[in-house]
Structure 1
Amino acid sequence: MTTIRNIMFFLLILKSLIIQSASKPLVEQKSVMNYKNAPIKKFDLNHIYIENLWKKIFFPKKKSLSGRKISHKKNIIITNIETEELRSRINNLNQKSQIKILKYNTIIHASVESYLRMGKYIGKILSLSDYYFPMFEEKLETYHLPKELKYIAIVESNLNSTITSKAGAQGIWQFMSETGKIYHLDINHIYDERNDPVKSTEAACRYFKHLYNKMGNWELVLAAYNAGPGTIEKIIQRHKEKKDFWSLWEFLPKETKNYIPKFIAINYVMNYYKEHNIPSYSRFHLKYKETGLVSIKEKVSLRSLSSALNVSYQDLKFLNPQYLVDIIPIGEKFFLRLPRIKISLFKEREREGFFQKRKINF
């Protein structure tokens, strides 16, 4: 009898809850129903790793069987910094800087700590920079440009040579197709030279020179690189009494407002990552100066080349990100970047007719 009474009592409670729910105002019910269908805001390219960051914040690691949190004190990333210490370090960087735009304010501080919270991912960027930065610095020096401009590539693409923005910008330096063509970056169904790290870096250098000749101010050059020179020139014309980025800050597009803070923040993080215990992953196994270009006398498949040279397919794709297809045809414009130690083997395989025997067809 007791069991039956308990069941009856439970059913009465359940019925009461159902009636109470049904009696809610229509507006309240509608908001509950529409909640799951609310549009999900897309992330900006420079924040594609924020979702993972949120997971770490809101879903921390599970406790161990003993009930204590697993702790590795040596690996704890320091994600914040005192005002005076950050101010001092940024001033120190600015004294060594060629562009002298590294300064401290609360916006910069927030941007620095935002990057620090993505510390483990910064470790991967550090590893990739080991390959890209020597080449960037070489090209910037050739064009007599400040070497700090190499950090723009991190702000733009996180050193991802094949990334595409929602607006259609492409490659490490995020060229739109129109601007790319102005700077002689060819685009067709076989290759996109905006993805070529070397050619796009040379185009970026020429574009930086052009912008500096127009703007005469490195802060405004970077703002123009982000928003377009036309947009920045219109803002300057409307506010002629204001001549620098921070005095124009409130009138700039939202993304451009954050652009120079990000640039200064990534300057800081890439120079002071050790002080924040950011892990430095094993250095990237490919070195730019240990690679070279070879012309193609026979059309070649990257997959067959991988087996012929005993080089991983992933490495070949990394070294030749401009190619949109696996099979590279013969032509004046078609070159392959290979590890130098494999170039003689490539030429030997070519003389043997190795690639011709593979009967590669488009």
Structure 2
Amino acid sequence: MKNYLHLWSLSALLILTGCATTSQPEANNSEAEVQSTASHTPNYPRGPLSPINSASVQRNGVANLAVPDDLWDRIRRGFAMPDLQNDLVSNQEQWYASRPDYIQRMTQRSSKYMFHIVEELERRGMPTELALLPYIESAYNPQAVSSAKAAGMWQFMPSTGTYFELKQNMFRDDRRDVLASTRAALDYLQKLYNMFGDWHLALAAYNWGEGSVGRALARNQKQGLGMGYTDLNMPDETRNYVPKLQAVKNIIARPENFQTELPLIENHPYFQAVTLDRDIDTAQVAELAGVTMDELKSLNPSFNKPVIFKAGTPQVLLPWDNANVFRRNLQAHEKGQYASWTVWTVPSTMTVATAAGMVGMSEGDLRAVNNIPPRMMVKGGSALMVPRSAAVKQDVSSHLADNAHIALTPEIVTRRTTVKARKHDSVTGIAQRYKVTAAQVADWNDVGVKAAFKAGQQVVLYLPVRVGAERHAGNHNSHAASRSSKAGKPSKDSSAKKSTARSTPTKAAPSKRSTATTKKKR
């Protein structure tokens, strides 16, 4: 009987211990690791459970169910990447630790955005170390722009931003948007992790480009070398990329070891999104919410115009309490027009002065609000920000809000010029010689398109003169006329009579794009 009771007690103990073991992860795995593993290996074997044997029974740690005191504690609990330990990490630790003011500014700036990023990482089952990546990329500055034209907290290149559906147009740049850029960055990082199966390699690809990392791995495999992050031959920027993140992680994990004090970031949302039902001026949003324009722009850094078009940007981020104030004030605000700006599509290529006159603005104001540089004309089809009159009842359409753009061309004027026709000259021949159309020559001289000119007949032309060269036109024309009279041949620049210059838009010469390359491929 005693042996029976002993065996029964031992069996019960094994069963109870086994239940506890299967209900929680192993002691050296965090919750984020378990979630991450589940998200990347969805096809688990199915069928009846195997019986528990003594070899599979082990004691595990007790899960910490207490709510984190602050966001730093919450981030530390979600660390799931393997630690990197080498001299590069030590060098980066020393660099950051010797700049406590810099760390204070970075961490203080991140306090507005960190909660949202940590929430997204935990929802996706990703390591919370990734919440520290914007420290490396941009010092958590959503307005940061690199020399390679990468923008925002997560430093997206224009092409990569487009691939991950970040809108970039004249009204907004979603690479700077807090919600959109975070979504895109985590999508990209998940994609890279699925490709390489290693977070250090995924981070290297985020910095260097997935193609570059793939080729480096292929070279190492061919040469029989290691396939880890530290084994690859890579640019210095990428070689120091993960060590920088590791150094920041170490400082966040144990700030006292680096004589660093982290600012308090409370474990609750800093902002909330408010849906917009109408186009509205950004200044009015700030006024109704009771926040400064600087605060509004810090949460909505993608806005680059004085108006928010609800068709393209249906929500605005506001500090948590101010969002409720905004909703109440917006409801109490009299119904009507909230936006004092709208978009006007330019019907044809014209000077800025002409466009300003058509919309009732000064040329200077139109240039300023649309960022039009001097000596440039606006091409037909361009979208310009203009004041919204009371007669305009409809808000800007979603198509225009998403696709509006400004196309510019160098401002070119024409000068009335007369030339002497040669023997057997025709309208077509002169048009070809001076690179204008036959219809224009015919119109300027009140003749038919197929007409011919007599030798020595005065032919009127309006030839383009760039604004910058206009001041030299008088001397140039007189010299050309002198040369042509001596040679007995007319000069295309000779003129017998001048009149007021008039605008004749022409296609601009293609601008040369920079061919400079950069190590960062995103």
1:304 paired with 2:288, answer no
- From 192, 198, 201, give the equivalent of 1:220: 201
Tell me how far apart the structure 1 counterparts of residues 118 and 208 of structure 2 sit (CA, whole Å): 24
Q: Which amino acid aligns with 1:204?
A: A
Which residues in structure 2 correspond to 1:84-123 (within 5 Å)? 97-100=79-82, 102-123=83-104
Aligned to 1:185: 166
The Cα offsets for residues 325-353 of structure 1, whole Å up to 9 and x where unpaired, read as 12112316431112333334433443454
Which residues in structure 2 correspond to 1:227-266 (within 5 Å)? 227-240=208-221, 241=224, 242-248=226-232, 251-266=233-248
Tell me how far apart the structure 2 counterparts of residues 356 and 349 of structure 1 sit (CA, whole Å): 14
Task: Tell me by how many angstroms 1:195 deviates.
Answer: 0.7
- From 186, 190, 200, give the equivalent of 2:181: 200
The Cα offsets for residues 210-265 of structure 1, whole Å up to 9 and x where unpaired, read as 111111111111111100000111111122122011121xx201211111111111
Task: Tell me by how many angstroms 1:103 deviates.
Answer: 2.7
Tell me how far apart the structure 1 counterparts of residues 100 and 270 of structure 2 sit (CA, whole Å): 29
Structure with the higher strand share, 1 or 2: 2
Deviates more, 1:234-243 or 1:348-357: 348-357
Aligned to 2:112: 131
Which structure would you say has the larger RCO, counting Cα contacts within 8 Å and 6 or more residues apart?
A: 1
1:325 paired with 2:309, answer no
The Cα offsets for residues 57-106 of structure 1, whole Å up to 9 and x where unpaired, read as xxxxxxxxxxxxxxxxxxxxxxxxxxxxxxxxxxxx99984121x13222
The answer (yes or no) to whether the contact 1:300–1:355 under 8 Å persists in 2 is: no
Aligned-partner SS, 2:179? helix
Task: Tell me by how many angstroms 1:284 deviates.
Answer: 6.9
The answer (yes or no) to whether the contact 2:277–2:310 under 8 Å persists in 1 is: yes
Aligned-partner SS, 2:111? helix
Deviates more, 1:171-180 or 1:352-361: 352-361
1:170 paired with 2:154, answer no
Q: Which amino acid aligns with 1:289?
A: P
Q: Which amino acid aligns with 1:213?
A: N
Deviates more, 1:122-131 or 1:309-318: 122-131
Which residues in structure 2 correspond to 1:11-90 (within 5 Å)? none
* Gap change, CA 1:354 and 1:324, over 3 Å in 2: farther
Tell me how far apart the structure 2 counterparts of residues 155 and 201 of structure 1 sit (CA, whole Å): 15
Aligned to 2:9: none
Aligned to 1:273: 255
Number of residue pairs the alignment of both structures matches: 265
* Gap change, CA 1:309 and 1:150, over 3 Å in 2: closer
Q: Which amino acid aligns with 1:309?
A: A
Aligned-partner SS, 1:172? coil
* Gap change, CA 1:348 and 1:175, over 3 Å in 2: same
Aligned-partner SS, 1:136? helix
The answer (yes or no) to whether the contact 2:78–2:128 under 8 Å persists in 1 is: no
* Gap change, CA 1:230 and 1:313, over 3 Å in 2: same
Unmatched tracts of structure 1, length 5 or more: 1-92
Look at both structures and tell me which one has the larger radius of gyration over its CA atoms.
2
Aligned to 1:150: 131
Tell me how far apart the structure 1 counterparts of residues 315 and 78 of structure 2 sit (CA, whole Å): 38
The answer (yes or no) to whether the contact 2:138–2:153 under 8 Å persists in 1 is: yes
Unmatched tracts of structure 2, length 5 or more: 1-74, 342-385, 387-522
The alignment yields a C-alpha RMSD, in angstroms, of 2.6
Aligned-partner SS, 1:292? strand
Aligned-partner SS, 1:252? coil
Aligned-partner SS, 1:162? coil
What TM-score, normalized by structure 1, do the two folds share? 0.67
Tell me how far apart the structure 2 counterparts of residues 196 and 108 of structure 1 sit (CA, whole Å): 31
Aligned-partner SS, 2:121? helix
The answer (yes or no) to whether the contact 1:162–1:170 under 8 Å persists in 2 is: yes
